[in-house]
Chains A and B, each alone.
Chain A
Amino acid sequence: QKEVEQNSGPLSVPEGAIASLNCTYSDRGSQSFFWYRQYSGKSPELIMSIYSNGDKEDGRFTAQLNKASQYVSLLIRDSQPSDSATYLCAVMRNQGGKLIFGQGTELSVKP
């Protein structure tokens, strides 16, 4: 079983729609959860972090965490073509610890 799993996509949505990205993780001891965006050939860029169950909103982005189901999601409202990128889910077990990344989901927002 992979430690962090994501659908590789590509996920294609029309401009203005909601994009929904999902991630599951295997380690129940994971404490911190992150969504990074990665454009081709570039480094990961932090979108959201979430540490407790429930929703966390930041502008057009909402992260959702369900530790019982070992599930993290990212919703992007009013998707824009500039949101087209690969979205990486990452989890951390303990403070100062390593990030464990999923394979990433490629998102394509069509004008």
Chain B
Amino acid sequence: EPEVTQTPSHQVTQMGQEVILRCVPISNHLYFYWYRQILGQKVEFLVSFYNNEISEKSEIFDDQFSVERPDGSNFTLKIRSTKLEDSAMYFCASKTGIVETQYFGPGTRLLVL
């Protein structure tokens, strides 16, 4: 069964460093998402991406964040200058254009020191 994959599974970085989180959505999916979940808190929407552009972004998704689909398979989230409060689990999700169900990847646990 096709699934969303994410790399790395864990990332530790120093405050102020740039990180890139990578996702490979399910191959025939057209909509792509990033969510994050701070430990003990709810899953929060960051950004959605469709037709090679951002379709919606949350207040969390400020100028420090960017997304890219550099080729036909990868979908990346870049955090330019990480802050302590960026420590969280980051989930990528994707869906087809037909049904509404979003399928989540296993997540990347980011720890900013």
Collect the chain B residues with CB atoms within 8 Å of residue A43's CB: 89, 91, 104-107
- The reply to whether the CB of B48 lies closer than 8 angstroms to some CB of chain A is yes
- The reply to whether the CB of A22 lies closer than 8 angstroms to some CB of chain B is no
- The reply to whether the CB of B43 lies closer than 8 angstroms to some CB of chain A is yes
Tell whether, in the assembled complex, residue B48 and residue A49 are in contact, meaning their CB atoms are under 8 Å apart.
no
> Which of A45, A90, A99 has the most chain B CB atoms closer than 10 A to its own CB?
A99
**Total A-B pairs in contact (CB under 8 Å)?**
56
User: What 0/1 readout, one digit per residue, does chain A (26-64) give for beta carbons within 8 Å of chain B?
Assistant: 000000101010000111111001010000000000000
A98 contacts which of B56, B97, B101 (Cβ < 8 Å)? B56
Collect the chain B residues with CB atoms within 8 Å of residue A98's CB: 33, 45, 48, 56, 58
Measured in the bound complex, the distance between the Cα atoms of B91 and A97 in whole Å is 16
Collect the chain B residues with CB atoms within 8 Å of residue A34's CB: 100-102
- The reply to whether the CB of B44 lies closer than 8 angstroms to some CB of chain A is yes
On chain B, the number of residues with a Cβ less than 8 Å from chain A's Cβ atoms is: 26
Given A32-B100, A49-B101, A98-B33, is A42 in contact with B44 using a C-beta cutoff of 8 Å?
no
A31 to chain B, nearest CB (A): 8
A42 contacts which of B33, B102, B106 (Cβ < 8 Å)? B106
User: What 0/1 readout, one digit per residue, does chain B (78-105) give for beta carbons within 8 Å of chain A?
Assistant: 0000000000010101010100111111
B100 contacts which of A36, A42, A49, A102 (Cβ < 8 Å)? A49
Measured in the bound complex, the distance between the Cα atoms of B100 and A98 in whole Å is 10
- The reply to whether the CB of A13 lies closer than 8 angstroms to some CB of chain B is no
Tell whether, in the assembled complex, residue B101 and residue A101 are in contact, meaning their CB atoms are under 8 Å apart.
no
Apart from A98-B58, A99-B93: 18 A-B pairs, beta carbons within 8 A: A32-B100, A34-B101, A36-B104, A42-B106, A43-B106, A44-B104, A46-B101, A46-B102, A46-B103, A95-B100, A96-B95, A97-B48, A98-B33, A99-B43, A99-B102, A100-B45, A103-B41, A104-B42
